Structure 1
Amino acid sequence: MAYQYARLGAKILITARRENRLKEVVAKAKSLGAQEAHYVAGDMGKAEDCERTIQAAREKFGRLDYLVLNHMGSNFKSLQDKFHEGKSWDQDPNMDFFVDFLNINLVSYVRLASLALPLLKESSGRIVAVSSGFGKIPWPNLSYYCASKFALDGFFSSLRVELMKAGQDVSVTLAVLGYIGTPNVVHSLQNTPEMLDIVAPVNQTAMAIIRGGATRAREVYYPFSIWPLTKFGTLMPQMFDYLTSKIDLVPES
């Protein structure tokens, strides 16, 4: 998404934990046409790093038009390993991991949005929160993951209505994603090559999310096949529960 925004000539600021990777992305973004590109090295599980990130945007740009929330992580273990353990919650009720996971993958989203709202109100800006089909449908052995994604939907959908009620021209877009062809996903599906047919290209996914934010869409479903799946789960929940109890798929990390 940073590269796609760069191609559109945007001024961008990105944040992640790995400073060396941030430097590479910023350099490439500039080469692709970004007016400006900056980074903040930080851990979104830490309140002070969230605050530094929004403050950096205020200082660098003097305004904020888009806040795109798309980070994920854990301080306890590799999420790739956690996803592929395939343990149900009753087999591994790890509350320390659960609290840490929600802090990074839910609370920090709320914190960043709250810190950014004064700037976004001034610019009639946009919030884009990247979620998952697992935020619309329950899935076995991913209770902690579904919990964070369902909660993102609940919070940002409610925030959207609150802003509308207050007459604030700040849009909230929720991106509901299926399988996306990131390196981790492609690697995890090497033993099931037939699954690669349903994996969406990264660049097209990025553009779908960007387009949704730009047009102030309420929700973006990508690939579109994730939309009927979520609706099926809503319309026929008992049958969906039965079917999902018989299969085992994991999301990307």
Structure 2
Amino acid sequence: MDMKPIGKVLCATAFVIGFLAVFWKDSFKPERLSGARVLLTGASAGIGEQMAYHYARFGAEIVLTARREAVLQEVMEKCLTLGAKKIFYIPADMSNPLEPEKVVQFAVQKLGGLDYLVLNHIGMTRFQMWDGDVEYTRWLMQVRFPRCSRFPLSGTILLPGSLLVFSILSFSFPGKIPTPFTTSYSATKFALDGFFSSLRHELSMQKKNISVTLCILGLIDTKSALESTRGKVSLPASPASDAALAIIQAGAMRMREVFYPGWLHLVCCLGVLFPCDPFLQSFYSP
């Protein structure tokens, strides 16, 4: 019996199923976020700041945190004008191992629980060729990675009625596909991907109602990103406000991953199936 036609049918079916799984999305309902209790880190600038404004427009109850208190006050005041039902802020440095739990306790005290915990603190990032600086790589692994993993996932967070969505924004394209100028940075991103992807399995096995949304971002037009990549990357930068909205929508829909811009998903899939280093390198200039 000739199995070739059957094999072609199976391959075509698998392709269609895979395509639908990648690109099919549930519809976003803004009312899901009305009154939602949100703790947002890294909220003083960039994508974090834009997320704060979107959550405010949706009528969420928000706790903002970042290192710069004066800027947090300004963001909080704008959120109030945009429609936030409640809003508080607490200055904190996430590189301090004691700060994450303190911030969570503050948020739970002010909001009575949490529905969304958004980790958006990324810290200082170099965008350059590997120069052998092992200490910098060690610092990234010892400081940046534990920043996210230190946050408590049970106890005071999961109060009755809480529907926790754990959105990790500390990802970017180098967390899926290694790129030039990101050796140390990419190492930490792959570590975060592995940690939270495994954690998702464990939470599911424990029947905990916690959703983990991982965010894979391309070049975004934040001040820090544009400054670090100027003259080195020949790709257009996407708006931070749009990226923030895409992330919020993905979290509300409890998606496993969100890619922004959307074409990054296809690039990641093709990069795994058909690696082509010269093509990828053509977008970068030393």
Calculate the TM-score normalised by the size of structure 2: 0.75
Deviations 1:53-93 (CA, angstroms, capped at 9, x unpaired): 1110111112010000111114xxxx3xx32xx231xx232
Rounded to whole Å, the distance in 1 between the matches of 2:217 and 2:166 is 16
The residue that corresponds to 1:58 in the other structure is: 108
Letter in 1 for 2:111: F
Specify whether residues 193 and 235 from structure 1 end up closer, same or farther in structure 2 by C-alpha distance, changes over 3 A only: closer
Rounded to whole Å, the distance in 1 between the matches of 2:147 and 2:228 is 27
Rounded to whole Å, the distance in 2 between the matches of 1:182 and 1:212 is 20
Letter in 2 for 1:208: A
Rounded to whole Å, the distance in 1 between the matches of 2:140 and 2:80 is 33
Rounded to whole Å, the distance in 2 between the matches of 1:53 and 1:139 is 34
1:192-207 equivalences under 5 Å are: 195=235, 198-207=236-245
Letter in 2 for 1:134: P
Identity of aligned residues (%): 38
The residue that corresponds to 1:111 in the other structure is: 150
**8 Å contact from structure 1 (residues 106, 148) kept in 2:** yes
Specify whether residues 178 and 249 from structure 1 end up closer, same or farther in structure 2 by C-alpha distance, changes over 3 A only: farther
**8 Å contact from structure 2 (residues 233, 283) kept in 1:** no
**Which residue, out of 125, 135, 139, partners 2:164?**
125
Rounded to whole Å, the distance in 2 between the matches of 1:160 and 1:188 is 32
The residue that corresponds to 1:147 in the other structure is: 187
Specify whether residues 18 and 103 from structure 1 end up closer, same or farther in structure 2 by C-alpha distance, changes over 3 A only: farther
Q: CA deviation at 1:249?
A: 6.3
Specify whether residues 203 and 192 from structure 1 end up closer, same or farther in structure 2 by C-alpha distance, changes over 3 A only: same
Deviations 1:177-227 (CA, angstroms, capped at 9, x unpaired): 1111212344556658963xx322111111100000000001101101211
**8 Å contact from structure 2 (residues 177, 268) kept in 1:** yes
Rounded to whole Å, the distance in 1 between the matches of 2:241 and 2:234 is 21
Larger-Rg structure: 2
Runs of 5+ unmatched residues, structure 1: none
The residue that corresponds to 1:178 in the other structure is: 218
**8 Å contact from structure 1 (residues 12, 37) kept in 2:** yes
Rounded to whole Å, the distance in 2 between the matches of 1:158 and 1:105 is 18
Specify whether residues 249 and 124 from structure 1 end up closer, same or farther in structure 2 by C-alpha distance, changes over 3 A only: farther
**8 Å contact from structure 2 (residues 234, 284) kept in 1:** no
1:6-155 equivalences under 5 Å are: 6-74=56-124, 79=125, 82-83=126-127, 86-88=128-130, 91-95=131-135, 97-112=136-151, 115-118=152-155, 119-120=157-158, 122=160, 123-130=162-169, 131-155=171-195
Specify whether residues 227 and 249 from structure 1 end up closer, same or farther in structure 2 by C-alpha distance, changes over 3 A only: farther
Alignment RMSD: 2.3
Q: Tell me the number of residue pairs that the alignment of Structure 1 and Structure 2 aligns.
A: 233
The residue that corresponds to 2:202 in the other structure is: 162
Specify whether residues 27 and 21 from structure 1 end up closer, same or farther in structure 2 by C-alpha distance, changes over 3 A only: same
Runs of 5+ unmatched residues, structure 2: 1-50
Determine which structure has the larger helix proportion and give its number: 1
| 2:260 paired with 1:222 | yes
Letter in 1 for 2:113: R
